[in-house]
Amino acid sequence: MAYLSKHRSWKRFMAIFFLPTVLSGFAPHSEEVFKSPARFSWSNLTPSELKNRFVGLSTKTNALGKAYFTLEGHKFMIVGGSIHYFRVPREYWKDRLLKLQACGFNTVTTYIPWNLHEQERGKFDFSEILDLEAYVLLAKTIGLWVILRPGPYICAEIDLGGLPSWLLRNPVADLRTTNKGFIEAVDKYFDHLIPKILPLQYRHGGPVIAVQVENEYGSFQKDKNYMSYLKKALLKRGIVELLLTSDDKDGIQIGSVNGALTTINMNSFTKDSFIKLHKMQNDKPIMIMEYWTGWYDSWGSKHIEKSAEEIRHTVYKFISYGLSFNMYMFHGGTNFGFINGGRYENHHISVVTSYDYDAVLSEAGDYTEKYFKLRKLFASGSARPLPPLPPLIPKAIYPSVNLSFYLPLFDILPYLNQPVMLHTPVTMENLPINNGSGQPFGLVLYETSICSGGSLFASVHDSAQVFLNDQSIGILDENHEVLQIPKIQGCQLLRILVENQGRINYSWRIQSEQKGLKEVVSIDGLLLTNFTIYSLDMKMSFFKRLRSASWRLAPKTYNGPAFYWGILNAGSSPTDTFLHLPNWHYGFVFINGRNLGRYWDIGPQRTLYLPGPWLHPEDNEVIVFEKIEKGFDIQTRKKPQLQECYETGSGLPDAAGDVDPC
C-alpha cells in the first residue's frame, strides 16, 4: 500500500513519525489518534498497474531526515504476510492469497525449503506443492508483491531448518559456514534455484521486490565471512532487487551484512529494539520482517495463543509510525508428511503436524478474530474499498472409517525396497540408498542375530522400539541408551525400529542431527555386527506396492507397530475435514498414499487436517501406521480439536516407561 502525504491524517502521523522519536523514546498516542489511521492507496502500486519498471524497492531520506521505502519512486509501505507454499495444498494457494489481499495486505512472503526441493543430491523437485514459480506468478496475477527468503537455512520449524539431510553424511560439512563442502553444495543449489527466480524479479516484470540473505544468522554466527559469501552468491547469479537480512534484536548487529537492509523480528512493539536498529542504519526505514502473530506448538506442550486485540493494537502502532512489517504467520498451514522440525530442551521435542501458529487465517484457511480486526483496521485507512471476502471452504463430516484389515510391521518387509546389508549399522543419512543421498525422513528398521541376552547398548535418535523376533521388549531414546535383554534359548532376531521425529531446526545442534543408530551397538560390551537395514520412508510408491499384499482381518486389540486399512467414503463432492483418532496412540495417517502427518495422543493436537482436493469422489484408501496399540475407528470433524495435556496412560513412553505431563 502506498501512503500519501496529501491526507490530513497522514500529516498528523508524520508529525510524530518514527525518526524524531526514536532517539528520545516513542511518544504515547491518544485514543483519538488511534481512531484515524493513515490513508493508503491501492490504485497504482500493484503488479498489474505498475508497468514501468526501472528502480524497484528502494530506500530514501527526505529533507527532514526521515527514511522511507519507495517503489518506482512512489512512497511505499510493505504490509506483508507469510504463507509458505509448501505447507498449503496447491489447489488452495489462490484461496489463501486472495484472503491475504482481502484483509488489506499488499505483499506475501515465503521461505524456500532446500531440503524439500533437493531431497536427493542433484535431483531437484519443483512440481505440485513445490512449484515455486507457479506460486509467485499466481501472487502477481492476484495483485500481490512477493518477498522471497531462499536460505539456504530458513529455520521455519522445518526439519533441519530447511537444510537437506544428505549434508549430514560423513564426512560432515560444517553447516552454515564457508566450509568447502557446505559452500559447494549451496552453490550447486543456487545454480539451479536462482535462474528460476530471475524472471520473477520486479525489474524483469515479476512481483519479487526483495530477497533475503540467509536467515537469523545473528543467533548462529560461526563464520564472519559466511553472510558476505551468500550475498555475493545471490548478486553474481543475477539478483538485482533489494537484499535484506532478518534477526531478532540480539542478533541484528551480528547477522547484518554490508549492502543488505537489516530487518528485525519481534514478538511485540518494543521501542528499545527500534532504537538499536536505528543506530545501526539511521538513513534506512524500519522493516519488521517477522511480527509473530502466535507461535508453533510442540508435542506434549500446551497450545499457544496470542490475543487478537494485542495483534490489532501492535499493527496499528506499526502503521502509525510508518513502519513496514510482515506478519509471521498470516497463514501457517500444515507440516504434511515428515517435514516437521524439532528443538532440544534436555530431550528432543517435536513440532506438531499442524502449523496453525494461531495465525490470522487458521490451518484450514478459515477466518479468525484476528483476521476481522485487521481487516477493519486496514479498511479504515484504505483510500479505496478492500476486495470482497472470498467465501469459506466448506467442511464436511463423513461416515466413520472402520479399519478392518491390518498387517503387522514385519509382514510388510517384502514390500519395502531391498534392504541394505552392512557390517555395522549407520544412520539413515549414511545409508547407501537414493543415489548416495541416504534417507531424509521416516523410520529405519535394523536387524541382526543375537545368541545371548544381557545389557544392550545403542545410541538412538530419536526414539526406538526394540524387539526379539516379533515381541516388543522395550524402548530406547537419546537419554536412555541401555536396555536389558532377557536370557534367550539359541539365536534370535534382534530388531530395532528407529524413528526420526524431526531434526532440530535451530541452534548449533543442527551439526549433529543424524538419525537412526550410530555404529556402536553392543551386548555386554561385545559389538554386534552383520545388520540388515530396511528403509521405511513411507513414499507413495511403497503404498502402491502394499495394495497387492494379503491384508488380514484386524483383531479387536493388537499391541505393537502395524498398518491398518480402511475406506473413507467422501460422497460425490469431497471437501475439507479433520480426522479424529480418539482411541489411537501414535502414528501416521495416509490418504490415497499421501502422508497427512503424525498424530500423538499426548496432544495438544487431536485432529489431522485433510484437504478436500486430496480426496476422490466416493471411496478413498485410508492407511494408518500405528506404533503402539490398535484403536477403533477414525471419525471426522468440521473443526480441529485440541487438548491441553495428555490423557493418563497414553502416549509413546520413554525408556523408563513414563510419559511426561505438559
For 208-237, the pLDDT digits (tens) are 999 999 999 999 999 999 999 999 999 999
Helix (H, G, I), strand (E, B) or coil at 219: helix
Helix (H, G, I), strand (E, B) or coil at 660: coil
pLDDT in tens, 353-387: 999 999 999 999 999 999 999 999 999 988 889 99
pLDDT at residue 554, as a whole number: 97
Query: Taking 50 as the threshold, does the pLDDT of residue 172 lie above it?
Result: yes
- For range 468-479, the mean pLDDT: 96
Query: Taking 80 as the threshold, does the pLDDT of residue 645 lie above it?
Result: no
pLDDT in tens, 107-125: 999 999 999 999 999 999 9
Could you tell me which residue, 526 or 7, shows the higher pLDDT?
526
DSSP line for 403-470: --EEEEGGGSGGGSPPPEEESS--BGGGSS-TTTT---SSEEEEEEEESS-EEEEEEEESEEEEEETT
What is the CB-side half-sphere exposure of residue 557 using CA atoms within 13 A? 1
Residue type, 315: V
Res. 173 pLDDT band, cuts 50 70 90: confident
Domains of the chain, earliest start first: 77-296+303-381 (3.20.20.80), 401-405+549-637 (2.60.120.260), 413-536 (2.60.120.260)
Res. 499 pLDDT band, cuts 50 70 90: very high
pLDDT at residue 39, as a whole number: 53
Return the DSSP state at 171. Answer: S
Contact 448, 494 (CB under 8 A): yes
pLDDT in tens, 309-345: 999 999 999 999 999 999 999 999 999 999 999 999 9
Res. 41 pLDDT band, cuts 50 70 90: low
pLDDT at residue 383, as a whole number: 80
pLDDT at residue 519, as a whole number: 87
Return the DSSP state at 262. Answer: E
Kindly report whether the peptide bond that precedes residue 152 is cis, defined as omega within 30 degrees of 0: yes
pLDDT in tens, 555-597: 999 999 999 999 999 999 999 999 999 999 999 999 999 999 9
Please say whether the dihedral angle defined by the alpha carbons of residues 604, 332, 166 and 223, taken in this order, is positive or negative.
negative
Average pLDDT, the chain: 91
Query: Taking 90 as the threshold, does the pLDDT of residue 27 lie above it?
Result: no
Helix (H, G, I), strand (E, B) or coil at 25: coil
pLDDT at residue 2, as a whole number: 39
The residues annotated as belonging to the active site are 216, 290
- For range 466-475, the mean pLDDT: 97
- For range 9-16, the mean pLDDT: 34
Contact 333, 363 (CB under 8 A): yes
- For range 442-457, the mean pLDDT: 98
Res. 34 pLDDT band, cuts 50 70 90: very low
Res. 63 pLDDT band, cuts 50 70 90: confident
